[in-house]
């Protein structure tokens, strides 16, 4: 790693963020260049960290080498509060396989999204604000995955949420007609969507913060001093026993899990993510692939590693009862995977299909990490981590393809597309690769990781229920992936497309967009080969380069010729054939099939209304708002009345003083 | 100087505060409210002076005297500023009634 790399990796994007609003007044091209250069530097630094990990040694300064396979951190005191709250707030960077792996995923995917942005945002007047927020977003996420303690992580966690709010409602000035009848303009709708994301995740984070405070309390009881440091928490797992002794472990688990569930849009917080599509598509890609939603999954993985290393690296007994955290994570993840997958089957907007698929795939990751922690099963953890990587790459690819399509056809409804294959060949083939990877078709990246998750669920008798639901969800995934491809690229051209084609030539994406599409597609194709060395890195083993080829070959062989291979083929066929029949070959009219059958019609209505969760949440919110409106009446704004309140409060205080 | 008992001065101070409080909570005219604030400040200053006399063995403690003088200076500045606001508000809105000035809008 280069000197001060652990600071530069997130500081360079911050500097670029601060510079870009100023440079935007000078030259647009320079702004693009600065942002992409900063992201490139971050990517290179992340990559050097990975190389250090592969070599087995991390060196900060010449002559100061540390064994890379043991997690360690570099911290400094940030806010000295020792005399006030008994603990200094530390600021630091944690190096372990998981954090460096995540930093690489984030930096790599963000880099290609940034390059795509140059083409996608070419007509955007407010480019300074865009780059400011994008750079800040990515640097917060990099610092989040590298942060060495819970408090620092929470701060960056909220920074990620704040940036996502600003980016989702980026086009708040738009005067176009609103897609939702409740709002006057599209700008108002966008602002509402951003606020919905911010409020949902912040609501979840409130519980998360309480859980972090509980960690401080129980570590004070068990170790004599509050600590939030991941390594310190891992070295001494007695704080979990303290939780058990106090009898608050289940509540603590739910609270601690609440933050990740909110961030990753899992049940019951899943409703913000489909609305988060209001922002520019590059922002959606960033939120879904690299930053934001991955933070939640990362935290569950981090928590698993914390427990696992406490047991295996620091030789402690596994604290009883902590599996409740992972049990909830596994079941909620599996349920959400199914819930969002079914909604993806009927979604009408291109980006919403992808949004539902993100929620669904994150459900897989949560299920994998949950199973890992439930059984202390390293295979499941590896499968989940690799699915983070695979999902990051193919979801970024799919979103960027969707961005290229939206950039050309100016509509977001899939039923207004169709027949785009001949106009946009590059986008078609790259999007097809992304969809194949999402469906888990071999040999694309998604196949390896998803297959591994289903495999670990299958192997253990405890998780058979999860296995069944995950397989059903895999079928649904294949179906909606090909529905999307069919509706966008095949069939008759819609009236909208015909009109566009007659007015001006429908063109494929510009070169700068094509470059990143092709790069991500190539990674999707070949990533499977690197999964075996990545697994070794994540396990903290040093890669033996002599028999690397042999072990990769063995891994590929085992994955392809697994007992689940017939199941994989069956899943793909069951999902693919109806989608092919209806949406690609267009042999039947989907609307007529649904209308003709009363059960299907009921299911359709249930799914298109998002299982009525969204409506229910709005009902609750309206109830709270009604209550607040009543309560607001005591806030008159009259100075006289306020003085009276003051008088009442003074008298009450006086009476209390006398009574005591 | 044979003086009244200290409680009498305190009662005067507290009654000034009470009158100020009463005007603040009942009256609508901004000018009256400013006068009420001045009254309350006077009452508080008076209490300070009394306490300074009480601990000062026959003279008012010089520290407390200086604090009270600063306080009176600040009170006069506040009053001047507030009356300037009143003039501006009256020119702009044509009213001195605070109930009609509820919105922080222009």
For A221-236, write each residue's pLDDT tens digit. Answer: 888 888 888 988 888 8
Q: Is A43 part of any domain?
A: no
Please give the interface size between A and B, counted as residue pairs whose CB atoms are below 8 Å apart: 23
Residues of A contacting chain B (CB within 8 angstroms): 636-641, 643-644, 647
Residues A654 and A597 in one domain: no
* Residues from chain A contacting residue B34 (CB–CB below 8 Å): none
Mean pLDDT computed over B20-35: 89
Q: Which of A638, A639, A643 sits opposite B21 (nearest CB)?
A: A643
A647–B25 CB contact, under 8 Å: yes
Chain mean pLDDT for chain B: 87
In a domain, A584, yes or no: yes
B98 inside 8 A of chain A by CB = yes
Question: What is the percentage of chain A residues whose pLDDT exceeds 90?
Answer: 41
Q: Please give the residue range of the domain that contains residue A386.
A: 322-538+547-608
Residue A443: inside a domain: yes
Q: Which of A586, A608, A630 is the last residue of a domain?
A: A608
Residues A425 and A479 in one domain: yes
Cβ–Cβ gap B25/A637 under 8 Å:
no
Q: Do B24 and A638 touch (CB under 8 A)?
A: no
Cβ pair B102:A637 closer than 8 A:
yes
Alpha-carbon distance of A36 to A111, in angstroms, equals 7
Chain A nearest-CA distance from B73, in A, is 25
| Segment A412-433 mean pLDDT | 86
For residue A606, is pLDDT > 50? yes
* Averaged pLDDT for residues A624-640: 85
Which residue from A35, A43, A36, A37 is spatially nearest to A5, judged by alpha carbons? A43
Neighbours of A238 (CB within 10 A): 16
A58 vs A48: CA distance, rounded Å: 10
pLDDT, tens digit (0-9, with 9 covering 90-100), for A297-345: 999 999 999 898 888 888 888 888 888 899 999 999 999 999 999 998 8
| A480 and A619 co-located in one domain | no
Q: Dihedral through CA A505, CA A510, CA A511, CA A517, nearest 10?
A: -110
Kindly state whether residues A438 and A390 are assigned to the same domain: yes
**d(C-alpha A108, C-alpha A9), whole Å:** 12
Backbone dihedral region of A637: left (phi > 0), alpha (psi from -120 to 50 degrees) or beta? left
Domain identity same for A458 and A562 = yes
Half-sphere exposure of A265 (CA within 13 A, CB side): 28
Q: Measure CB to CB from residue A647 to each of B21, B33, B103 and give the nearest one.
A: B21
Number of domains in chain A: 2
Rounded to the nearest angstrom, the minimum Cα separation between B100 and chain A is 9
A580 lies in the same domain as A643: no
Q: How far is B65 from chain A (nearest CA, A)?
A: 28
Tokens 């990740």 belong to residue: A260
Q: What is the pLDDT of residue A389?
A: 92
Distance from the B67 Cα atom to the nearest Cα atom in chain A, whole angstroms: 25
Residue A484 domain-assigned? Answer: yes
Is A84 part of any domain?
A: no
Taking an 8 Å cut-off on Cβ atoms, the answer to whether A643 and B28 are in contact is no
User: What tens digit of pLDDT does each residue of A483-504 get?
Assistant: 999 888 888 888 888 888 787 7
**Band of the pLDDT at A157, cuts 50, 70, 90?**
very high
- Cα separation, A521 vs A543, whole angstroms: 27
Residue A27, pLDDT > 50, answer yes
**Pairwise pLDDT comparison (B54 vs A338), residue with the higher score:** A338
Above 70 in pLDDT, residue A151?
A: yes
Q: State chain A's mean pLDDT as an integer.
A: 87
pLDDT for A369 beyond 70: yes
Q: Beta strands A57-61 and A64-67: pairing type?
A: antiparallel
For residue A88, being part of any structural domain is answered with: no
Q: Which residue of A has its CA nearest to B28?
A: A640
Over residues A199-214, the mean pLDDT reads 93
Q: How far apart are CA A373 and CA A388, in angstroms?
A: 17
Q: Do A638 and B102 touch (CB under 8 A)?
A: yes
- Interface contact flag, B26 A640, Cβ < 8 Å: yes
pLDDT value at residue B93:
83
Per the model's pLDDT, the better-predicted residue between A386 and A4 turns out to be: A386
Distance from CA of B64 to the nearest CA of A (A): 26
Nearest Cα residue to A430 out of A395, A408, A401, A403:
A401
Q: Where do the structural domains in chain B lie, given as residue ranges?
A: 6-97
The answer to whether residue A644 is domain-embedded is: yes
Cβ A253 vs Cβ A324: under 8 Å: yes
Cβ-nearest to A639 among B21, B98, B103: B98
Q: What CATH number does the domain located at B6-97 have?
A: 1.10.287.3510
- A636 Cα to chain B: minimum distance (Å): 9
Q: Write down the pLDDT at residue B106.
A: 45
Q: What is the pLDDT of residue A502?
A: 80
Q: Considering only alpha carbons, which residue of chain B is nearest residue A645?
A: B25
pLDDT digits (tens, 9 = 90+) for B70-94: 999 999 999 999 999 999 988 988 8
């Amino acid at each position: 790693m280069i000197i001060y790399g652990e600071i530069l990796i997130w500081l360079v994007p911050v500097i670029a963020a601060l510079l870009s609003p100023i440079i935007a007044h000078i030259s647009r091209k320079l702004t693009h260049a600065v942002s992409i250069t900063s992201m490139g530097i971050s990517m290179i630094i992340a990559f050097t960290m990975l190389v250090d990990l592969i070599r087995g040694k991390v060196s900060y300064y010449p002559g100061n080498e540390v064994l890379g396979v043991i997690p360690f951190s570099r911290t400094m005191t940030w806010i000295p509060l020792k005399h006030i709250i008994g603990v200094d707030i530390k600021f630091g960077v944690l190096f372990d396989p998981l954090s460096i792996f995540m930093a690489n995923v984030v930096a790599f995917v963000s880099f290609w999204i940034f390059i795509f942005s140059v083409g996608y945002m070419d007509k955007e007047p407010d480019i300074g604000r865009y780059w400011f927020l994008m750079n800040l977003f990515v640097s917060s996420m990099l610092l989040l995955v590298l942060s060495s303690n819970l408090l620092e992580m929470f701060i960056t966690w909220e920074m990620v949420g704040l940036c996502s709010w600003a980016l989702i409602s980026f086009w708040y000035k738009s005067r176009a007609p609103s897609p939702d009848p409740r709002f006057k303009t599209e700008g108002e709708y966008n602002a509402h969507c951003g606020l919905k994301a911010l409020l949902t995740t912040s609501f979840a984070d409130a519980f998360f913060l309480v859980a972090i405070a509980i960690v401080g309390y129980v570590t004070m009881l068990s170790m004599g001093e509050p600590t939030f440091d991941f390594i310190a928490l891992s070295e001494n797992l007695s704080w979990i026993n303290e939780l058990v002794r106090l009898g608050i472990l289940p509540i603590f688990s739910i609270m601690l899990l609440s933050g990740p569930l909110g961030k990753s849009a899992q049940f019951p917080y899943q409703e913000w993510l489909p609305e988060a599509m209001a922002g520019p598509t590059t922002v959606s890609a960033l939120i879904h692939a690299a930053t934001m939603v991955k933070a939640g999954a990362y935290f569950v993985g981090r928590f698993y590693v914390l427990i696992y290393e406490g047991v295996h690296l620091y030789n402690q007994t596994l604290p009883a009862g902590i599996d409740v955290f992972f049990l909830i994570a596994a079941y909620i993840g599996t349920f959400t995977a199914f819930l969002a997958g079914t909604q993806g089957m009927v979604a009408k907007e291109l980006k919403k299909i992808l949004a539902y698929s993100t929620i669904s795939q994150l459900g897989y990751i949560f299920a994998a990490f949950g199973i890992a922690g439930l059984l202390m099963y390293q295979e499941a953890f590896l499968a989940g981590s690799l699915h983070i990587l695979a999902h990051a790459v193919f979801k970024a690819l799919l979103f960027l393809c969707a961005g290229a399509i939206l950039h050309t056809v100016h509509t977001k409804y899939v039923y207004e597309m169709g027949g785009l294959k001949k106009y946009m060949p590059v986008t078609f083939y790259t999007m097809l690769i992304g969809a194949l990877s999402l469906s888990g078709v071999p040999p694309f990246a998604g196949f390896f990781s998803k297959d591994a998750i289903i495999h670990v669920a299958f192997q253990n008798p405890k998780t058979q229920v999860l296995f069944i639901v995950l397989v059903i969800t895999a079928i649904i995934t294949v179906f909606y992936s090909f529905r999307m491809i069919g509706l966008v690229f095949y069939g008759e051209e819609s009236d909208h497309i015909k009109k566009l084609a007659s007015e001006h030539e429908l063109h494929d994406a510009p070169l700068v967009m094509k470059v990143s599409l092709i790069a991500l597609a190539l990674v999707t194709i070949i990533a499977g080969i690197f999964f075996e060395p990545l697994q070794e890195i994540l396990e903290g083993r040093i890669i033996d380069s002599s028999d690397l080829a042999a072990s990769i070959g063995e891994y590929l062989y085992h994955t392809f010729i697994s007992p689940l291979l017939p199941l994989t083929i069956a899943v793909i066929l069951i999902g693919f054939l109806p989608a092919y029949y209806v949406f690609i070959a267009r042999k039947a009219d989907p609307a007529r099939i649904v209308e003709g059958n009363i059960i299907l019609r009921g299911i359709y209505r249930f799914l298109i209304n998002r299982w009525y969760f969204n409506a229910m949440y709005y009902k609750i919110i309206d109830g709270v708002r009604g209550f607040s409106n009543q309560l607001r009446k005591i806030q008159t704004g009259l100075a006289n009345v306020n003085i009276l309140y003051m008088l009442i409060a003074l008298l009450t205080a006086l009476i209390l003083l006398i009574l005591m | 100087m044979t003086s009244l008992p200290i409680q009498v001065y305190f009662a005067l101070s507290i009654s000034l505060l009470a009158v100020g409080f009463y005007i603040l909570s009942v009256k609508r005219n901004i000018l009256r409210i400013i006068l009420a604030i001045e009254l309350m400040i006077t009452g508080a200053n008076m209490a300070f002076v009394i306490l300074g006399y009480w601990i000062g063995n026959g003279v008012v403690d010089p520290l407390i005297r200086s604090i009270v003088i600063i306080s009176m200076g600040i009170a006069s500045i506040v009053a001047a500023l507030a009356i300037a606001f009143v003039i501006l508000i009256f020119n702009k809105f044509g009213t001195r009634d605070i109930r009609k000035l509820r919105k922080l809008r222009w």
